Amino acid sequence: MLRKVSIFCLFCSIFAYAQAPQGFVFVEGSVFVMGGGVGQKAAQQVTVASFYMGKYEVTQAEWQTVMGTNPSSFIGDKLPVESISWHDAVEYCNKRSLKEGLKPVYSSNGDRINISANGYRLPTEAEWEYAARAYTKSAAVSWHKDNSNDTTHPVGTKPANSFGIYDIMGNVSELTQDGYVYRGTAFNEPYLYLHARQRYQSTPASKSNSLGLRLVRNAPQQETPIPVVKPAAMILVEGGTFTMGSDVDGGFDTERNQPAHQVTVSTFYMSPYEVTQTEWRATMGYNTSYYIGDNLPVEQVSWDEAIRYCNKRSVAEGLQPTYRWLDADNVVLDRSANGYRLPTEAEWEYAARGGNKHEPYSFSGSDDLDAVGWDADNSNRRTQPVGTKAANGLGIYDMTGNVAEWVWDYYEAYSAEVQKDPLGPTSGYLHINRGGSSWPDSSNAIEFREVAEASYIHPGIGLRLVRSRLAPSLVAGKADGDGTQADAEKA
């Protein structure tokens, strides 16, 4: 069964083709069917935006120039470098980027990426397979077990594919950015195995004399103009003090929710609905979602992507972006900016509990889950159109179930201290999402905290927007409003 997915890369144009960096080709994006075949991932429709890809696998001469060493088993300047790990490849990308005056894409250990950086990186699986599918399967165009004499060969000595890319099938397999997966067959594998869809799982430290790399770079940004979409009227959430968390034992991971503690939250605005696929697509130009529908909540959105959506939508609507990247690892929040942002965890739970109405329910708006939320038992285990269950007392929908929602905070254990407008720790490894979803094994209890890495995606995780109250140009979403804060407070 086909599954529709979109991936992020940057933009395409004829201009970009003319400006391809030396040694790279411009790969114009499109839609293709990825995967399929026995023992491989199910076929899925994927949209890939344009990018630059190296014509050749990275050679030993290129590697030694940057790294100062040559780890390869088969030695030769024009042979592809091999016997490298995924971590080695990430280090090479960053060092070569810095050497050439480009902005590195990866953090030091590769667990975070700056997708707007102009430096070198590994291709995503989708980029790699899209480029590889321009290859013609023929024993004459690849180095494989039947013609290689069990060794690597100088890059570019077999014919290129229709993109002008050499050796994407055969010679050495190539590392990708996604989950330590490598793609393409190598010199020591039979010709029969030469398929663009072939994929292999590895570890970040694994090395082999049949495993190398090929580089890609983002194409220059030349975006199609994005239509400005006015936000729906946002709900004014008057500030107040509430009890956050719970001291109740039992259930799923309840220790994360303890101890209960007093928190004061300042007034803010929150969208009554989760961000829909229509809204996401209007701003980002692609749709990440597993379940497709204009009024369904967008999902399969990472925390990183959610942050970028907030900034990009803010800019599209003439607002001040709330987030700023210090480097690939660190982003800071400016709560005085008037643009869109994710709620803090405290803001999220305060709104879910009805704000200063202090609703005493197990779920957001009711003790009856079926009345206010889509869960695994009533949703057919899939997302449903936003706003089709009852709202809570503030007029906010789907804070229980449908999709869990990313919040700003890194995860840390609660303390019993009284707090005011907490932002969570300044660094960490895991981010928090709240509210539960329509997927099995998801807790929809109002106090439940789920955690995941910033790059994690899942069909049960989306987002909801907030804005700071003091934003001077807050749009109320009313056709007759003048875009002032007063309009918003009337909404």
Token code pair at residue 22: 């030396």
113 falls within a domain: yes
Name the residue among 135, 156, 139, 160 with its Cα closest to residue 148: 139
* Structural domain range at position 459: 235-490
Same domain, 181 and 268: no
What does the angle CA 8 – CA 397 – CA 384 come to, to the nearest 5 degrees? 60
Whose tokens are 């038992």? That residue is 377
Whole-number Cα distances in Å, 390 to 13, 251, 268, 448, 459:
46, 25, 22, 20, 22
**What pLDDT shows up at residue 480?**
27
**Is residue 228 included in any domain, yes or no?**
no
User: Residue 391 domain-assigned?
Assistant: yes
C-alpha distances (whole Å) from 454 to each of 245, 254, 429, 430 are 23, 22, 8, 7
Domain presence at residue 418:
yes
Please state, in angstroms and rounded to a whole number, the distance separating the CA atoms of residues 168 and 186: 10
C-alpha–C-alpha distance, residues 374 and 72, integer Å: 54
- Residue 327 is predicted with a pLDDT of 67
Q: Phi and psi dihedrals of 484, rounded to 5?
A: -95, 165
241 and 182, same domain (yes or no): no
Question: Of the residues 218, 245, 273, which one is the last residue of a structural domain?
Answer: 218
pLDDT (0 to 100) of residue 17: 38
224 assigned to some structural domain: no
Q: Does some domain include residue 97? A: yes
Going from the first residue of the chain to its last (491 residues), give the mean pLDDT of each consecutive group of 10, the final group possibly shorter: 31 41 89 68 76 96 97 97 95 94 85 81 91 67 90 94 89 87 88 77 90 91 43 84 83 71 94 96 90 92 93 92 80 90 96 92 92 90 93 95 95 91 90 89 83 91 91 32 32 30
Number of independent structural domains in the chain: 2
How many Cβ atoms sit within 10 Å of the Cβ of residue 232? 17
- Strand-pair category, 404-410 with 461-462: parallel
Same domain, 149 and 269: no
Q: What is the CATH number of the domain that holds 122?
A: 3.90.1580.10
Do 138 and 251 belong to one domain?
no
- Please check whether residues 188 and 125 belong to one and the same domain: yes
C-alpha span between 249 and 202 (Å, rounded): 40
CB atoms within 10 A of CB 23: 11
User: Are residue 457 and residue 336 in the same domain, yes or no?
Assistant: yes
pLDDT at site 40: 56
What is the predicted pLDDT for the residue at 308? 92
Q: Which of 152, 184, 218 is the last residue of a domain?
A: 218
> Are 208 and 338 found together in one domain?
no
Same domain, 266 and 377: yes
Last residue of a domain, one of 170, 191, 218: 218
* Whether residue 192 sits in one domain with residue 243: no
The alpha-helical segments, DSSP class H, found in 257-356 are: 277-284, 303-316, 345-352
Nearest to 313 by CA among 231, 232, 406, 407: 231
The pTM assigned to this predicted structure is 0.54
The verdict on residue 225 lying in a domain is: no
Sheet strand arrangement including 466-468: 235-237, 268-270, 466-468
- In this structure, what is the dihedral angle of CA atoms 472, 475, 478, 481, given to the nearest 10 degrees? 30
Same domain, 174 and 66: yes
DSSP annotation string for 134-189: TS---GGGS--TTTSTTS---TT-S---TTS--SSSSSSEEE-SSTTEEES--TTS
Based on the fold, state whether residues 107 and 209 are members of the same structural domain.
yes
Calpha distance 105→327 (Å, rounded): 9
Please indicate, yes or no, whether residues 241 and 109 belong to a single structural domain of this protein.
no
What does the CA dihedral 293, 297, 302, 305 come to, rounded to 10 degrees? 80
